[in-house]
Amino acid sequence: MTKNDVADPHELLIKQLTKELVRELLKESDINSKPPESKEKLSPPGKMTKYFKSLQMSNLAWSIIIGSICLICIAFAWTNRIKTVNISFEAVSSNVTIHLTENWTLTSSFYVKELYINNLNTVIATDIDINFSRFIDGNLDIDIEPAVLTMEGKNICIKELILPKGAKIDMSLTNDIFAIYTKGEPVYCRIDTKDAELVLIEGDEEKSKRINAFEYIRIKSSKAFSFPTELKFTLEEDNFKLRNLKTSSIKFLEEYPPGTGIFESTIKSALIRIIETDDKEILREGDILTIDNIMTRRLDFRMIKNIGIKAFFEGSVSNVLAGTKKYERDLAPNFIEFIYNQNQLGFFWSAVVFLWGILWSLKNSIFGNKF
């Protein structure tokens, strides 16, 4: 063996270290090239992305699904109407029925030529010696029949009139005779006069009094449930008004013929306005108007002799049907009509988007796109 055949120990050591270094570099390269499976398993967004990729749905399938969802939402909004609608209307009718939700008090007196009031518990007119009462020691004596009062003359003024909460009120105007039929709690009335003939019927007894000097008469009716209390006034003046009544229902119907259970519309004309959409509906004589679950903001009546009762209403209702009998139309807007006509709502979101754009541009100009 020659000298050259003997391996240099330094050379062997260098070769061995070089092999080890190459082996470590290759091992590290293999580790870095592997996908981080453990991290992907721990990441919820990664799981969701992997799940949707596994569905392998085409763009056509996604288009059908999204289009179906949009179609269902639009169909629901088109076929369903808003639950509460704000309306106003003016109507002329010969008869109106309401159900009071609050006590109502006459705000302005009116004059009549004649009056008739029945079912009376109390009639007091001190100066002409009228003092009728069905109460004895504070207790109602049912053996005493309710009284009937009639008056005729000049300067008969209805100074006070109180209709009770919960009363069902039926009003009519025929020529110049204004009638109120009320069921429920007692009605209170005060009459001032100085030139009239008074007749008070107490059972079989009839008292007649001539009033030549100023006198005021206080009356109070009995409770009325089976048969209504009747108040009839022959109006002396035109355009007499009842203001600010609160009611849970209003109907323009009259039973005709009486006792048959058949009701006919008493509307002569009407104009209805849907406040949300500003749509208007005109009703002609005999058309039907049905409204339910009323929240009254304003309800006034004006008595126009030889024409009828002119009603003005504004408030919210849950249902409004109007039109020719058996062909009534629901006037409440659907959700699409409601949203389309909300100009204020549209302006609000337009302002939001406009302001957002200004602030976003300002942010980019100051902080740049990376912030």
149 and 250 in a single domain? The answer is no
Domain that holds residue 208: 103-238
In a domain, 93, yes or no: yes
3-class SS string, 257-324:
CCCCCCEEECEEEEEEEECCCCEEEEECCCCEEEEECCEEEEEEEEEECCCEEEEEEEEEECEEEEEC
pLDDT of residue 240: 83
pLDDT of residue 336: 81
pLDDT of residue 262: 81
Question: Domain tally for the chain?
Answer: 2
Nearest Cα to 207, choosing from 131, 119, 114? 131
pLDDT of residue 81: 85
Nearest Cα to 201, choosing from 136, 126, 130? 130
In a domain, 58, yes or no: no
Exposure string for 12-27, b = 16+ CB within 10 A, e = fewer? eeeeeeeeeeeeeeee
pLDDT of residue 50: 60
187 and 281 in a single domain? The answer is no
Low-confidence residues of the chain, pLDDT below 70? 1-15, 17-18, 21-22, 24-58, 137, 343-347, 363, 367-371
Convert the pLDDT of each residue in 77-127 to its tens digit: 888 888 889 999 999 999 999 999 999 999 889 999 999 999 999 999 888
Which among 216, 238, 260 is the end of a domain? 238
In a domain, 29, yes or no: no
305 and 333 in a single domain? The answer is yes
pLDDT of residue 3: 47
pLDDT of residue 165: 94
222 and 304 in a single domain? The answer is no
pLDDT of residue 26: 62
